[in-house]
Chain A
């Protein structure tokens, strides 16, 4: 299946120079008379890089065999991270390149969005919010719940986030993985 420029839209997965890409944005331009062009912003799903390409209107790109699937993170054997589709129990293993920064946010049983390319994990997105336990942080100021100061805290997965001064070791925090920022104490 190939898509012509006039079918391009945000979210469409296409092949560009041998790599699967996700279309972010398109802009159609045409001089008064003459050749029309479409300038497309794409994310290379292998490298994560964003690039711009200009096409003649009417050119086409092949569809990329890319699928996003919700999977549960099971465990890591050190070399691979193992995931399972809850509906049918099929399992996939992602390598470190596919995991990238996601490793620092997830723990066993978390649900992740796994992007499969030709049936293999190409990238893994953590949930937008995760709850993680603080394993290490300076004692800080007990009882200070108002002052704006922050300090670094190491979480059970190894991620380091800035937290308010009143947070203690052993507390469970809600963190936004998109920004890497502390949101609140988790309500247990």
Chain B
């Protein structure tokens, strides 16, 4: 990727995406808006700059100052949209920019376009169906297959993700011949993420979308848990098309005390790992205390959706100006 000046002596001012891809983006956005208009889902906007941000260990927020006060570019509009839901908005969607530091690659750009929507009264399975309908509409793909997380890892990596310990998972990664493995120690979730990223994901969504649901409780993020002990699963799902991870959704956690515990646990783990501390979103917690309706929500990467619609392999082909040329 060219970083600086081009050989003709000028700065690299030109878009990396062709005009056909620029036009395709406009069509995909119009299609998404028509999809939600027909279904009576309201388009909303929420701030990109927030006083608080996510505590998730694996999301790095970009920080700036407004009138001298610390502000965070949002990694997704989730917290603000939940405040609208708690205030009685009904079903809502948003198309906005999201920002994640340190995420740059063929399918990552530190600023990207996210489609996020919430459905009061839905659980994750009902929302998964709607994700499948949206994908059919925009990409013309057939109805999705659905696999539980356990089935996906058993089928594509040959291991039970709930029964295996870190040693088993590390051994399986070696058997699968994954190259130059990092030392992930006894971090089960990191081993699972490694197997998921390098072995399972490339096999998902081939010919039709794959929806993966019911994740290990340690990977719940903001999803609610179902069951207890060995039976517990997080009601979270992901959507894949042609090996590309496209969407992440939850049957949303509504319990403010549980939400506060998860924030605190994230912050403690951030401290252990020397990651920055971030302010907890007290306004979200207050909204949950007021009452979030039973709902499911999902965030879908629009740039990747356009990449798939264009049959491209690298985001540069569908972003007018990727980060290196921003």
The verdict on A55 contacting chain B, using a C-beta distance below 8 Å, is yes
**Cross-interface CB contact of B102 among A27, A33, A39, A57, cutoff 8 Å:** A57
User: Is there an interface contact between A54 and B201, defined as CB atoms closer than 8 Å?
Assistant: no
Q: How far is it, in angstroms, between the C-alpha of A58 and the C-alpha of B245 when the chains are bound?
A: 21
Given A35-B194, A56-B190, residue A30 in contact with residue B103 (CB < 8 A):
yes
Q: How far is the CB of B178 from chain A (nearest CB, A)?
A: 7
User: Is there an interface contact between B105 and A35, defined as CB atoms closer than 8 Å?
Assistant: no
Interface range on chain A (Cβ under 8 Å from partner): 20 to 34
User: Is there an interface contact between A28 and B104, defined as CB atoms closer than 8 Å?
Assistant: yes
Q: How far is it, in angstroms, between the C-alpha of A30 and the C-alpha of B179 when the chains are bound?
A: 16
Task: Digitize A31-63: 1 where CB-to-B-CB distance is under 8 Å, 0 elsewhere.
Answer: 111111101100000000001111111110000
Q: How far is it, in angstroms, between the C-alpha of A37 and the C-alpha of B248 when the chains are bound?
A: 19
User: Is there an interface contact between B221 and A51, defined as CB atoms closer than 8 Å?
Assistant: no
Q: How far is it, in angstroms, between the C-alpha of A26 and the C-alpha of B102 when the chains are bound?
A: 14
User: Is there an interface contact between A30 and B108, defined as CB atoms closer than 8 Å?
Assistant: yes
User: Is there an interface contact between B196 and A53, defined as CB atoms closer than 8 Å?
Assistant: no
Task: Give the residues in chain A near B198, CB-CB below 8 Å.
Answer: 29, 37, 39, 54
User: Is there an interface contact between B184 and A28, defined as CB atoms closer than 8 Å?
Assistant: no
Chain B: which residue is nearest A53 at the CB level? Answer: B180
Task: Give the residues in chain B near A39, CB-CB below 8 Å.
Answer: 179-180, 198
The verdict on B106 contacting chain A, using a C-beta distance below 8 Å, is yes
Given A33-B221, A33-B248, A37-B197, residue A51 in contact with residue B103 (CB < 8 A):
no
Q: How far is the CB of B283 from chain A (nearest CB, A)?
A: 23
The verdict on B252 contacting chain A, using a C-beta distance below 8 Å, is no
Task: Give the residues in chain A near B56, CB-CB below 8 Å.
Answer: 33
The verdict on A6 contacting chain B, using a C-beta distance below 8 Å, is yes
User: Is there an interface contact between A33 and B194, defined as CB atoms closer than 8 Å?
Assistant: no
Interface-centre pick from A26, A32, A39, A40 (highest chain B CB count, 10 A): A32
Given A37-B182, A59-B182, residue A32 in contact with residue B238 (CB < 8 A):
yes
Please provide the chain B residues from 117 to 167 with a CB less than 8 Å away from any CB of chain A in the complex: none
Please provide the chain A residues from 6 to 32 with a CB less than 8 Å away from any CB of chain B in the complex: 6, 26-32
Given A33-B56, A35-B193, A54-B194, residue A6 in contact with residue B104 (CB < 8 A):
yes
User: Is there an interface contact between B248 and A56, defined as CB atoms closer than 8 Å?
Assistant: no
User: Is there an interface contact between A51 and B184, defined as CB atoms closer than 8 Å?
Assistant: no
Task: Give the residues in chain A near B197, CB-CB below 8 Å.
Answer: 29-31, 37
**Cross-interface CB contact of B182 among A31, A51, A55, cutoff 8 Å:** A55
Q: How far is it, in angstroms, between the C-alpha of A59 and the C-alpha of B189 when the chains are bound?
A: 17
Task: Give the residues in chain B near A33, CB-CB below 8 Å.
Answer: 56, 58, 219, 221, 236, 248
Q: How far is the CB of B187 from chain A (nearest CB, A)?
A: 8
User: Is there an interface contact between B179 and A29, defined as CB atoms closer than 8 Å?
Assistant: no
Please provide the chain B residues from 78 to 129 with a CB less than 8 Å away from any CB of chain A in the complex: 102-108
User: Is there an interface contact between A32 and B190, defined as CB atoms closer than 8 Å?
Assistant: no
Chain A: which residue is nearest B184 at the CB level? Answer: A56
Task: Give the residues in chain A near B236, CB-CB below 8 Å.
Answer: 33
The verdict on B181 contacting chain A, using a C-beta distance below 8 Å, is yes
User: Is there an interface contact between B180 and A52, defined as CB atoms closer than 8 Å?
Assistant: yes
Q: How far is it, in angstroms, between the C-alpha of A120 and the C-alpha of B102 when the chains are bound?
A: 35
Q: How far is it, in angstroms, between the C-alpha of A32 and the C-alpha of B189 when the chains are bound?
A: 13
Q: A6-B104, A26-B105 are in contact. List 11 more A-B contacts (CB 8 A).
A: A27-B106, A28-B108, A29-B107, A31-B193, A31-B238, A33-B219, A35-B194, A39-B180, A52-B179, A54-B182, A58-B102
6 A/B residue pairs, CB under 8 Å, sorted by A: A31-B196, A33-B221, A35-B58, A35-B190, A39-B179, A55-B182
- List residues of A whose CB falls within 8 A of some B CB: 6, 26-37, 39-40, 51-59
- List residues of B whose CB falls within 8 A of some A CB: 56, 58, 102-108, 178-182, 184, 187, 189-190, 192-194, 196-198, 201, 219, 221, 236, 238, 245, 247-248
